[in-house]
Amino acid sequence: MALREIIILPDKRLRLVSEPVAAVDAEIRRLVEDMFETMYDAPGVGLAAIQVAVPKRIITADIAKKDEPKRPQVFINPEILWTSEDRASYEEGCLSIPDYYEEVERPAAVKVRYTDLAGETREVEANGMLATVLQHEIDHLNGVLFIDHLSRLKRDRVIKKFAKAAKREEKD
């Protein structure tokens, strides 16, 4: 296993649409292991492969609380089949937009079809935090960030702040 570098806003690769995984082979399994190591190290509750600069449709997640045993979950080629009309609001953050949190309203429940690490097709109906994490991470696979769900004013302010920080780093 290896830690991978998480790419940060305004890295343009965060806007890529990720490619479907053709087969769950050794390379994909290694990538998934690295994603878990990187996600737990950060720490975060969800990670999309593009956040470690790999444009493949893979998500790792673990929504277990700190005092609970780990509950790693992998979703390969996830597809939203259904979303509830009920909506729920959660404070979201993103490992690619460090130290920024905002309330985002999304459907409260979703049904997702995905492939597991054994290559089997599965379906999950999620609500609560997992529903939010799945939608947030599936957005990543389509080049969408949680700040895209905020008002233009808030979004522009964050983008500007991170663009400035990136420029400062270039100079140093």
| Residues near Ni ion, by CB under 5 A | 94
Residues 6+ apart with CB under 8 A from 129: 45, 63, 90
Q: What's the rounded Cα separation, in Å, for the pair 40 and 45?
A: 8
| Residue placing its CB nearer to Ni ion in the complex, 94 or 131 | 94
137 is catalytic: yes
Report, in Å, the least distance between residue 172 CB and Ni ion. Answer: 26
Q: What's the rounded Cα separation, in Å, for the pair 83 and 109?
A: 6
Task: Report which residue's Cβ sits closest to Ni ion.
Answer: 94
Report, in Å, the least distance between residue 145 CB and Ni ion. Answer: 7
Within the chain, residue ranges assigned H as helices are: 26-41, 128-141, 152-171
| Residue placing its CB nearer to Ni ion in the complex, 44 or 76 | 44
| Residue placing its CB nearer to Ni ion in the complex, 99 or 120 | 99
Residues 6+ apart with CB under 8 A from 15: 143
| Catalytic residue, candidates 68, 137, 169, 170 | 137
Report, in Å, the least distance between residue 149 CB and Ni ion. Answer: 12
Report, in Å, the least distance between residue 75 CB and Ni ion. Answer: 14
Q: What's the rounded Cα separation, in Å, for the pair 88 and 10?
A: 28
| Residue placing its CB nearer to Ni ion in the complex, 115 or 149 | 149
**156 SS3 class:** helix
Q: Return the active site residues.
A: 137
